[in-house]
Amino acid sequence: MKESVLITGSSSGIGQACAHRLARAGMTVIGGARRYIGANDRIEESPDITCLGLDIGDSSSIDAFVDTGIAAKDSQLSYAVLNAGLCLPDGLLAGSVADHEKVMSGNFSGHLQLLRALDRRDLLRTMKAIVFIGSIYGRRASPQVISYAASKAAVESLTQSLALELAPATRVNCVLPGHIDTPMLAAAGPAFVEDVLRRTPLQRIGTAEEIAQLVEYLLTSATFMTGTAIVADGGYQLT
């Protein structure tokens, strides 16, 4: 039976790059993203990639995704890439409490609900490896995106706790990207990107494919690594 990988936030950026790289590596990819909701609930991007509607902030959407996309698939769920994310400008007094909660749900608690849904269907503890996509902003103060930073810090903490709970059968690791060429970075505006380039020792923005390469390594090759968070930011954290 062919091994499969679940990828959240698979419609663009890092998630999309992971989907195509892992499909090329021979896996069956089951992707989920808000973009696919309403598009006949299902989009086939290639024979090895199935894309389904998934709102990671909605428990009913999570349950439907697990039941129709994962449990019904004729393959062994061996891996998961928990990538879906949401970033809203939200200093302490910006936005509403609901906006802050939406970011926390989209980045952290929604993935926790997804893992619980998989566990209830006996699909979690048989996996070989899980990789979360965190952020350097989980470790770096940022008053402009406090909920995003807090949620990504929570993702790194969850990685460590799950690594203990799911060992020895399932490895759980985390990638902490810096500034990557994705729609999320583009939304920050050219002035922000220019400042990032000035402060990054490698003097460039990272690519989604570079993060996907690291994700593949953690899933399939890093067989003595669990509970680890790897930074990929071109040296930005040093400045």
- Residue 29, SS3? strand
- On the question of a cis peptide bond just before residue 190, with omega within 30 degrees of 0, the verdict is no
The alpha carbon of residue 212 and the mean position of all alpha carbons in its chain are separated, in whole angstroms, by: 11
Closest C-alpha among 198, 208, 163 to residue 13: 208
- The answer to whether residues 182 and 13 touch, using CB atoms and an 8 Å cutoff, is yes
148 has catalytic annotation? yes
Alpha-carbon torsion 123, 47, 173, 142, what sign?
negative
Alpha-carbon gap, residue 60 to 52, rounded angstroms: 14
Give the full edge-to-edge strand order of the sheet including 129-133: 42-46, 49-53, 28-33, 3-8, 76-82, 129-133, 171-177, 229-232
Distant-in-sequence, close-in-space partners of 207: CB < 8 Å, separation ≥ 6: 17, 180, 181
Which residue of the set 79, 137, 148, 236 is catalytic? 148
Active site (catalytic) residues: 148
